[in-house]
Structure 1
Amino acid sequence: MDINDLYEQNYVPYSKKASVAVVRSKNGKWFPGVRIENICYPLSISATQNALFYCLSEGHEPAELFTDEIHATMIPSWEKELGITSNPLEKDELHNITFDNPVLEADLNKIDKLKELLDMAVVGESDFPVSAIVETEQGYFTGVNIECTSWNMGLCAERVAIAKALTFSSKNLISLEIHTRKGEFSSPCGACRQVIKEHLPKKQIHLHHADDSESIHFSEDLLPHSFSSSSLSNR
């Protein structure tokens, strides 16, 4: 997959405007991100946030951002928050970048992996780590919650995992697993439920609780009467 391929991986059924960002980590690895829209527009994930949080969720420190969203109002905030430099995305200059596919194979022990991922969460604000694994036809994609000092800039584990899977061409998301180390009940927030409803309709959501119990729900049951509108185009 290269830069041009990433433009095909966008999920932009509402704006029809694709965006791409790539992040170079301090140890020289590259992480891509594409725009992931939601029918509830404010819940859309920008390509820049997607790429940055993919990098962070894999335990790497971002150093440099290349994005075609360079004039977005949040770019200075990302520079200040993460100590990165940002540059316009020039496809010709970055055409030879290679990206590691983060997909995990089907023989994965999901419970063990979910517990392992909790240590990867960036939770300096809440100290409440959450991990997520989304199953696709390719295999499994992981996510952890990433928090920022400006709370509205953070993203939950569920959305990090979903965005990562969609970036790597996994359009058919099969199921989602969520784990927390603390709390009485492991449950996605309302914003995540809206995103889950769009990308995993009628799919099973497995909630793994801090006491090692599990409950299984369908996405429609997690968010009854969710927002939808035939007035908005969708695939």
Structure 2
Amino acid sequence: MDLLNGYEEDLLAAAKESKKKAYVPYSKFRVGAAVLAEDGKIFGGCNIENASYGATNCAERTAIFKSVSEGSVNIVALAIVGDNEDFIYPCGICRQVMAEFGEEIIVILENGEGKRKRHTLGELLPHSFTNKDLKEVPRGI
């Protein structure tokens, strides 16, 4: 069964629309992302740069944070779009944030030429650190 239930085109459209809003005065590297929640709601996000580069936020996390802040924590899929010929994969921090919501999340990538790839988060971040790792905290530390 396809967890996207026909939402793939809407999800990618939201990611492309979000990419237009990217705030990238330094790198000019625009990225758009969109999250599909289990209830069918879609939340878009763009990358937001900062002169203090460490304060920059990726499009993927922006979309996830919007979803969670609106009460949709059951994430089914996340789409990522860029302008380049190469596919834009989520960075390590974004993968870790995604892992909080499940390794079965479908990640759809679309490059600037309209080519697509699909992965699960589990494929992109095997052996992730999640809440299950916190349940067996060693004593005496």
TM-score by length of 2: 0.81
The amino acid that maps onto 1:169 is G
Map Cα deviations across residues 104-139 of structure 1 (whole Å, 9 max, x no partner).
xx7973333332322200011211111011011151
* Corresponding residue for residue 177 of structure 1: 79
* Corresponding residue for residue 101 of structure 1: none
* Aligned-pair CA distance for 1:230: 4.5
The amino acid that maps onto 2:21 is M
User: Contact 1:118–1:181 at 8 Å: present in 2 too?
Assistant: no
Runs of 4+ in 1 over 4 A off after TM superposition: none
| Structure 1 residues 230 and 211: alpha-carbon distance in aligned structure 2, compared to 1, 3 A threshold | same
* Corresponding residue for residue 135 of structure 1: 36
* Aligned-pair CA distance for 1:229: 6.4
* 1:114 partnered with 2:15: yes
Cα distance in 1 for residues equivalent to 2:31 and 2:119: 18
The amino acid that maps onto 2:118 is I
* 1:204 partnered with 2:106: yes
Match of 2:91 among 183, 189, 198: 189
Larger radius of gyration: 1
State the secondary structure of the residue aligned to 2:134: coil
State the secondary structure of the residue aligned to 2:113: coil
The amino acid that maps onto 1:148 is N
CA RMSD of aligned residues (A): 2.1
Q: What does 1:37-76 align with in structure 2 at a 5 Å threshold?
A: none
Map Cα deviations across residues 37-74 of structure 1 (whole Å, 9 max, x no partner).
xxxxxxxxxxxxxxxxxxxxxxxxxxxxxxxxxxxxxx
State the secondary structure of the residue aligned to 1:142: strand
* Aligned-pair CA distance for 1:143: 0.3
Cα distance in 1 for residues equivalent to 2:8 and 2:128: 34
Greater relative contact order structure (CA < 8 Å, 6+ sep): 2
Map Cα deviations across residues 205-228 of structure 1 (whole Å, 9 max, x no partner).
111112210000000110112224
Ranges in structure 1 where 5+ consecutive residues have no aligned partner: 1-105
Cα distance in 1 for residues equivalent to 2:93 and 2:47: 13
TM-score by length of 1: 0.50
Q: Percent identity?
A: 34
